[in-house]
Structure 1
Amino acid sequence: MSYGRPLSFNPDEALQAAMDVFWEKGYATTSLQDLLQAMGLSKSSFYQTFDSKQALFARCFNHYCHWRSGRMQTRLKQSSSGWEFIETVFHAVADGAESDRERRGCLLMNTASEFGQRDSFIAELVSSGIQCFAAVFCQAVQQAQSEGTIDPDRDPQALADFLVSSMSGLRTMVKAGLSHSQTHDIVKNILRSL
């Protein structure tokens, strides 16, 4: 029985390289040539491993969401309180105003802005990604409520959705070039509203 030729590249590294291209350029303006060059693949290796640009994007997008939400989950476990976690995450994004990588924005929200609801496949990916981030924030809010730093009568899911929305807006402002002091002022107001 033939299993085909073994892969002569690292699929995880290729996926990471493709994710960076999509994150930098967006889906529509990323060409197959851009992807092949970044991933170091031939067309045949690309199609054999990833099937299509859309299939590759879905894998990159899911990888991004699980990577980001996984980092958030780890940070929550390491935080001394739910409130500290929320505060630290938002200040870290505000600090990104100094970072070229953070000025790319968020792949999730960039994709939502690029597609809106025009493509049901992409809209489903975006919805799933938002739920990943909201789940971590909901856990942090519930923890903060049990610790007495957020009013226990407030709906934790509604606050989690508010935090995802606020994070999206903050990342967009960082991408737009707001200064470090402006982004930290925004964070102070977000935290006050909790």
Structure 2
Amino acid sequence: MSYGRPLSFNPDEAVHAAMQLFWAKGYAGTSLQDLLQAMGLSKSSFYQAFDSKQALFARCFDCYCRWRSARMRASLNQSSSAWEFIENVFWAVANGAESELERRGCLLMNTASEFGQRDRVVVELVSSGMVCFEAVFIEAVQQAQTEGSIACDRDPHAIASFLVSSMSGLRTMVKAGMRHSQLSNIVKNILYSLN
């Protein structure tokens, strides 16, 4: 069986470029021509490396979730306390309302909104992405309970699910153009609910 010529480009860089495009324009809004231009590929190279637009999207989605969760975990490890980490996550989203990156929303929630329940593969991607983010928050909540900033009788898994949905919702509100004062009030209420 012939596997074609060796790849003459960096697949990780190409995936990153495609991820940025999907994140900004959505799956349906991103054409094959958009992808070829952003990735610097010919159509034959694209199909040799990624098989299809859907397969590339799945790879980009996984890349996004691993990137976001790795940033969160690094922030948790560098914070002086788990509570500081939780605060920083939410204030960073609210304070980033003027950032082009934050105005894109969350690729995970953008994807969930775009596809709904129509595509089983996408539903599984969204579910696995939620698990990645929840895992970091579970660790943070358990650490906060040890430190005494969150009550020990509360379920870390339930709180982590709440934090993921709150973070995703906040990113969606940033994308919708909500004012910083409104975002600040939401953050204060999210944090207040943990006490």
TM-score bracket, normalised by the shorter chain, equals: over 0.9
Q: Which stretch of the first structure deviates more once superposed, 175-184 or 81-90? A: 175-184
The one-letter code sitting in structure 2 at the alignment partner of 1:56 is L
Change (3 A) 1:2 1:115: closer
Matched, 1:16 2:10: no
Distance 1:22 1:132 in 2: 20
Indicate the RMSD between aligned Cα atoms, in angstroms. Answer: 1.3
**1:130-180 CA distances to partner (integer Å, 9 max, x unpaired)?**
000011001100000110000110000000000001001100110011122
Distance 2:193 2:7 in 1: 52
The 3-state SS of whatever aligns with 2:97 is helix
Distance 1:144 1:101 in 2: 29
Matched, 1:43 2:46: no
| Structure 1 match to 2:29 | 29
| Structure 1 match to 2:162 | 162
Distance 2:100 2:2 in 1: 46
Q: Which stretch of the first structure deviates more once superposed, 8-17 or 102-111? A: 8-17
Distance 2:100 2:14 in 1: 22
Distance 2:151 2:16 in 1: 40
Change (3 A) 1:6 1:135: same
The one-letter code sitting in structure 1 at the alignment partner of 2:121 is F
Report the Cα offset of residue 3 of structure 1. 6.6
Distance 2:5 2:45 in 1: 10
Distance 1:11 1:182 in 2: 41
| Structure 2 match to 1:119 | 119
Q: How many residues align?
A: 194
| Structure 1 match to 2:186 | 186
The one-letter code sitting in structure 2 at the alignment partner of 1:85 is F
Q: TM-score, normalised by structure 2?
A: 0.96
Report the Cα offset of residue 13 of structure 1. 1.0
Runs of 4+ in 1 over 6 A off after TM superposition: none
Report the Cα offset of residue 2 of structure 1. 7.7
Report the Cα offset of residue 4 of structure 1. 4.2
Report the Cα offset of residue 10 of structure 1. 1.4
Gaps in structure 1 of 5+ consecutive residues: none
